[in-house]
Structure 1
Amino acid sequence: YDDTLFAVFKTVRYVEHEELTATSEVVETGELMAFVGGDFVITIRHGGRGTLGPVREALEAQPEQLAKGPAAVLHAIADHVVDDYVAVTEAVQNDMDAVETAVFSEDGGRGDAGRIYQLKRELLELRRAVAPLGRPLEHLATQPIPVIPPEVRAYFRDVHDHLIRATEQIGAYDGLLDSVLQAHLAQVTVAQNEDMRKITAWAAIVAVPTMVCGVYGMNFDNMPELHWTYGYPLVVCVMAVACFVIHRGFRRNGWL
């Protein structure tokens, strides 16, 4: 705006948590606005993140850098914000490892779908904060702007490179989460098929004595071996042997 530059930065903070759940907050975002003129810098902060105390202390410890004017302050702010992006992105790696380990554990991580979706939502929030800053930083690094001297403009290239690294890492995490989610759904499907096979196998075993008992429960007078002394033990033995043979066949084929 005329001789004043107005910059908006999305700030991020990694929210510490003992264990990632389906409702865990991983990334907290805020907003930091800076008005930069020829001889002044005004910052306005929204949210719990974006404290510039360390930036001020670092600049005061480097008088030669601070002597370059408000543009050097803007660069320090941008560098601080982007460093937070990189730090949060690296911290999210721990949650990624935890989810991936749980999904590929022995129990298949059947209850991890909610955690995966929650982490994807938090990554989306992080991407919304990080990605839009790419074009403005590129503009600050390459285009002539009245309040940005050429010697300071080169510093923004380094900040832009760090931002690109964070953006690419977030994209890689999102792609990895898609793969983990697909693997999780495949494992759930396989587990359900295993359960159905076991249920079917036991139903087949139970069908044998059910059929025999159904036949001999029809109360007809003229039935084979109906009044034979050893008829009942024989039928019980036949049912037991048939069930054992069927059970052994299912175990051999991996159904039980």
Structure 2
Amino acid sequence: MIVDCAIYRDGFRESVTGDVGSALASVRDQPGAFLWVGLHEPAEGEFDEVARELSLHPLAIEDATEGHQRPKIEQHGDSFFVVIKTVAYTRPTSVTLGEIMLFVGADFVITVRHGPANPLAPARARLEEDRKLLSEGPGAVLYTVLDEVVDTYTVVAHELESDLMDLERRIFTRRGGDHTEDIYTVKREVLEFRTAEDPLLPVMQELVKGRIRLCANLSDRFRDVQDHLLRMDQQIDAHNELITNVLTAHLALLGRQQNEDVRKISAWAAILALPTMIAGIYGMNFQHMPELKWPIGYPLALGVMIGACLMLYRRFKRGGWL
């Protein structure tokens, strides 16, 4: 559905009173004016009407309708098509991906949003407050949307970093338990986040180099967004490497803990085996056995058992087995 539609002239917003076609005709009569139509998960017929009025490329229309595209930028005649992945974070450790697709022409911008992440109302409000930036035309819309999305990347990356630090503390707590599943959960979310931000780097390179004519005047602003994205990419690489190291260390700790458990079980088995052997021998009920007629035979056997067990316990304790 159409969530917002407005005309922008000389840095000011004007409401659209008619349909998209009449609004587009009005902005084409004035240099510097443009139409911004925002849609959120539009119905097929609704988007077809907008696409027909603006003569959008059929392949770009198909991508915008179906969604699930990688971040990219494509030139189609006098307009271009941009796909941006959006991210949202919800606890515990869940990264949700969405998409924003922009059709940018000399006098129009169409934004198609899929998923709940990164609503564009804050970006539109921010742009409307900056008349100087707004006067740059449709390219300013693309810059503002990219800047808002990359800022959200920063927030989500910090949340993932917090989860990773918390997981690391729990893992290295003595006898912290098996956290292998938790580690793979965080790693999966980091990799999913990376599928959103990493393919956006080539898109930013195209914009920074000024290869898109409509955005050539905003290269410095796009370079600033690219710098933020590069730092984010390095941070995500560091997170991914740290998770791999944490997993390796965790498996080593689990192996060491299992060895300690086996040693303890073996030590107690050895301690209990000695009195069991003595009791088993004296339980054979042979007639001619030593000490059977001694008055102190029974307490002597018990004493030997206890003394031997204490001696073994002391030896195992010194050796670190207990």
C-alpha distance in 1 between matches for 2:309 and 2:122 = 76
Q: Is the 8 A contact 1:134 1:164 kept in 2?
A: yes
C-alpha distance in 2 between matches for 1:213 and 1:91 = 62
How far did 1:250 drift?
Answer: 1.0
- Code of the residue aligned with 2:78 in structure 1: it is D
Q: What secondary structure is seen at the aligned counterpart in 2 of 1:165?
A: helix
**Mean Cα displacement is larger for which, 218-227 or 237-246?**
218-227
Residue-by-residue CA offset, 1:19-76 (whole Å, 9 max, x unaligned): xxxxx44211100000000111000000001211111111111111111110111111
Q: Is the 8 A contact 1:14 1:88 kept in 2?
A: yes
Stretches of structure 1 that go unaligned for 5 or more consecutive residues are 18-23
**Mean Cα displacement is larger for which, 133-142 or 215-224?**
215-224
Task: Please tell me whether residue 124 in structure 1 is matched to residue 191 in structure 2.
Answer: yes
How far did 1:143 drift?
Answer: 4.2
How far did 1:217 drift?
Answer: 2.0
Residue-by-residue CA offset, 1:105-159 (whole Å, 9 max, x unaligned): 133x2132221111111111100111010101101111422322x3212321111
What residue is the counterpart of 2:134 in the other structure? 66
Give me the TM-score of the superposition, normalised by structure 2: 0.74
What percent identity do the matched residue pairs reach?
Answer: 47
Give me the TM-score of the superposition, normalised by structure 1: 0.92
C-alpha distance in 2 between matches for 1:112 and 1:239 = 42
Q: Aligned residues, how many? A: 247
C-alpha distance in 2 between matches for 1:7 and 1:104 = 44
C-alpha distance in 1 between matches for 2:212 and 2:263 = 70
How far did 1:12 drift?
Answer: 0.6
How far did 1:240 drift?
Answer: 1.1
* Aligned counterpart in structure 2 of residue 147 of structure 1, from 203, 214, 234: 214
* Aligned counterpart in structure 2 of residue 31 of structure 1, from 80, 99, 110: 99
How far did 1:199 drift?
Answer: 0.7
Task: Please tell me whether residue 42 in structure 1 is matched to residue 110 in structure 2.
Answer: yes
Q: Is the 8 A contact 1:32 1:45 kept in 2?
A: yes
Residue pairs, 1:75-224, within 5 angstroms: 75-107=143-175, 109-148=176-215, 150-224=216-290
Q: Is the 8 A contact 1:10 1:29 kept in 2?
A: yes
What residue is the counterpart of 2:30 in the other structure? none
Structure with the bigger RCO (C-alpha within 8 Å, sep 6+) is 1
Residue-by-residue CA offset, 1:70-117 (whole Å, 9 max, x unaligned): 01111111111111111211222211111111111133x213222111
What residue is the counterpart of 1:53 in the other structure? 121
How far did 1:249 drift?
Answer: 1.0
C-alpha distance in 2 between matches for 1:244 and 1:95 = 47
Please state which structure has a larger fraction of its residues in strand: 2
